[in-house]
Amino acid sequence: MGDILSLLWTHLDVTVAILLFGIGFTTLLLHHNLIKKIIGLNIMETATFLFLTSQGFIAGRAAPVLAEGAAAAGYVNPIPSGLVLTGIVVSVSVTAVMLALTIRLYRRYHTLDIDSMTLMMKGEDE
Protein backbone atom coordinates (compact mmCIF):
# COMPACT_ATOMS: atom_id res chain seq x y z
CA MET A 1 0.00 0.00 0.00
CA GLY A 2 2.81 2.39 0.89
CA ASP A 3 4.49 1.59 -2.41
CA ILE A 4 1.32 2.33 -4.34
CA LEU A 5 0.81 5.62 -2.51
CA SER A 6 4.37 6.72 -3.11
CA LEU A 7 4.03 5.79 -6.80
CA LEU A 8 0.84 7.85 -7.05
CA TRP A 9 2.60 10.70 -5.22
CA THR A 10 5.48 10.75 -7.71
CA HIS A 11 2.93 10.79 -10.56
CA LEU A 12 0.71 13.33 -8.83
CA ASP A 13 -0.28 15.08 -12.08
CA VAL A 14 -1.54 11.86 -13.67
CA THR A 15 -3.30 10.78 -10.47
CA VAL A 16 -5.15 14.09 -10.20
CA ALA A 17 -6.06 13.92 -13.90
CA ILE A 18 -7.45 10.38 -13.47
CA LEU A 19 -9.46 11.36 -10.39
CA LEU A 20 -10.86 14.39 -12.23
CA PHE A 21 -11.73 12.14 -15.16
CA GLY A 22 -13.52 9.77 -12.80
CA ILE A 23 -15.45 12.62 -11.16
CA GLY A 24 -16.48 13.94 -14.56
CA PHE A 25 -17.52 10.53 -15.84
CA THR A 26 -19.55 9.79 -12.73
CA THR A 27 -21.26 13.17 -13.03
CA LEU A 28 -22.01 12.47 -16.67
CA LEU A 29 -23.55 9.08 -15.95
CA LEU A 30 -25.38 9.59 -12.66
CA HIS A 31 -27.04 12.99 -13.02
CA HIS A 32 -30.41 13.36 -14.66
CA ASN A 33 -30.02 17.07 -15.31
CA LEU A 34 -28.69 17.80 -18.80
CA ILE A 35 -26.70 20.87 -17.69
CA LYS A 36 -24.97 18.79 -15.02
CA LYS A 37 -24.17 16.15 -17.63
CA ILE A 38 -22.52 18.85 -19.76
CA ILE A 39 -20.54 20.04 -16.73
CA GLY A 40 -19.38 16.45 -16.18
CA LEU A 41 -18.20 16.18 -19.77
CA ASN A 42 -16.31 19.47 -19.35
CA ILE A 43 -14.60 18.15 -16.22
CA MET A 44 -13.53 15.08 -18.21
CA GLU A 45 -12.10 17.31 -20.95
CA THR A 46 -10.21 19.35 -18.35
CA ALA A 47 -8.70 16.14 -16.97
CA THR A 48 -7.47 15.20 -20.45
CA PHE A 49 -5.92 18.64 -20.96
CA LEU A 50 -4.20 18.44 -17.55
CA PHE A 51 -2.75 15.05 -18.46
CA LEU A 52 -1.53 16.23 -21.88
CA THR A 53 0.07 19.46 -20.70
CA SER A 54 1.76 17.79 -17.75
CA GLN A 55 3.37 15.29 -20.13
CA GLY A 56 5.14 18.14 -21.92
CA PHE A 57 6.66 19.60 -18.77
CA ILE A 58 10.37 19.19 -18.05
CA ALA A 59 11.52 20.09 -14.55
CA GLY A 60 13.62 23.23 -14.25
CA ARG A 61 13.06 24.47 -17.82
CA ALA A 62 11.35 27.61 -19.10
CA ALA A 63 8.26 28.07 -21.27
CA PRO A 64 9.04 27.82 -25.01
CA VAL A 65 9.24 31.57 -25.59
CA LEU A 66 12.79 31.66 -26.84
CA ALA A 67 15.24 34.22 -25.49
CA GLU A 68 18.25 35.55 -27.35
CA GLY A 69 21.26 33.26 -27.15
CA ALA A 70 19.73 30.60 -24.89
CA ALA A 71 20.41 26.95 -25.57
CA ALA A 72 17.65 24.85 -27.16
CA ALA A 73 17.83 22.46 -24.21
CA GLY A 74 16.51 25.11 -21.83
CA TYR A 75 12.82 24.90 -22.83
CA VAL A 76 9.92 22.56 -22.21
CA ASN A 77 8.21 20.59 -24.96
CA PRO A 78 5.93 22.91 -27.03
CA ILE A 79 3.98 20.15 -28.80
CA PRO A 80 1.52 19.17 -26.01
CA SER A 81 0.65 22.86 -25.50
CA GLY A 82 -0.27 23.19 -29.16
CA LEU A 83 -2.34 20.00 -29.02
CA VAL A 84 -4.18 21.19 -25.91
CA LEU A 85 -4.95 24.49 -27.65
CA THR A 86 -6.72 22.50 -30.37
CA GLY A 87 -8.51 20.45 -27.74
CA ILE A 88 -9.75 23.50 -25.85
CA VAL A 89 -11.16 25.06 -29.02
CA VAL A 90 -13.01 21.87 -29.92
CA SER A 91 -14.32 21.46 -26.37
CA VAL A 92 -15.65 25.04 -26.37
CA SER A 93 -17.44 24.41 -29.67
CA VAL A 94 -18.91 21.09 -28.50
CA THR A 95 -20.08 22.65 -25.23
CA ALA A 96 -21.76 25.49 -27.10
CA VAL A 97 -23.62 23.13 -29.42
CA MET A 98 -24.68 20.92 -26.51
CA LEU A 99 -26.00 23.94 -24.59
CA ALA A 100 -27.88 25.10 -27.70
CA LEU A 101 -29.51 21.67 -28.02
CA THR A 102 -30.38 21.70 -24.32
CA ILE A 103 -32.04 25.09 -24.68
CA ARG A 104 -34.08 23.78 -27.61
CA LEU A 105 -35.16 20.76 -25.57
CA TYR A 106 -36.06 23.02 -22.66
CA ARG A 107 -38.13 25.28 -24.90
CA ARG A 108 -40.09 22.25 -26.05
CA TYR A 109 -40.47 20.15 -22.87
CA HIS A 110 -39.94 22.76 -20.12
CA THR A 111 -37.74 20.41 -18.15
CA LEU A 112 -34.06 19.55 -17.98
CA ASP A 113 -34.58 16.11 -16.44
CA ILE A 114 -33.66 13.54 -19.06
CA ASP A 115 -36.00 10.82 -17.73
CA SER A 116 -39.17 12.91 -17.74
CA MET A 117 -38.10 14.22 -21.14
CA THR A 118 -37.84 10.66 -22.48
CA LEU A 119 -41.26 9.79 -21.03
CA MET A 120 -42.77 12.84 -22.75
CA MET A 121 -41.13 11.86 -26.02
CA LYS A 122 -42.59 8.34 -25.72
CA GLY A 123 -45.98 9.84 -25.01
CA GLU A 124 -45.68 11.88 -28.21
CA ASP A 125 -44.88 8.79 -30.25
CA GLU A 126 -47.96 6.85 -29.16
Partner 1 sequence: MKKKIADILRQRFYGDESPLDEDMIASLGEQPQGLTRSSNEALEALEGVRELRVQRAQEQEHEMYRQIHAWSYSSGVKIIQRLYRILSAVTCFGIVMFLLWTVNTLPPFGDPGNPDNNEVAARYVELGPGETGAVNMVTGMILDYRAFDTFGEATVLFTAACSALFLLKLHDHKDGKPTKTWLEAEYDDRFHEPKNDQILQFAAKLLTPVVLLFGFYVVLNGHITPGGGFSGGAIMGAGLILYLNAYGFKKTERFFTYRTFQWVTFAALLSYAGLKSYSFYTGANHLESGVSLGVPGNILSAGFILPLNICVGLVVMCTMYVFYTLIRKGGV
Q: Taking the CB of residue 91, how many other CB atoms lie within 10 A of it?
A: 18
Given 5, 6, 35, 100, the residue binding partner 1 (CB under 8 A): 100
- Asked if 8 is part of the footprint of partner 1 (rule: CB under 8 A), the reply reads yes
Q: What's the burial of 25, exposed, middle or buried (CB within 10 Å: 0-12/13-18/19+)?
A: middle
Write each residue from 50 to 79 as x if it is in contact with partner 1 (CB under 8 A), else as -, in one continuous string. Answer: ----xxxxxxxx-xxxx-x---xx-x-xxx
SS3 state of residue 69 = coil
Burial tier of 126 (Cβ tally within 10 Å: 0-12, 13-18, 19+): exposed
Residues in touch with partner 1 (CB under 8 A): 7-8, 10-15, 18-19, 21-22, 25-26, 29-30, 54-61, 63-66, 68, 72-73, 75, 77-82, 85-86, 88-90, 92-94, 96-97, 99-101, 103-104, 115
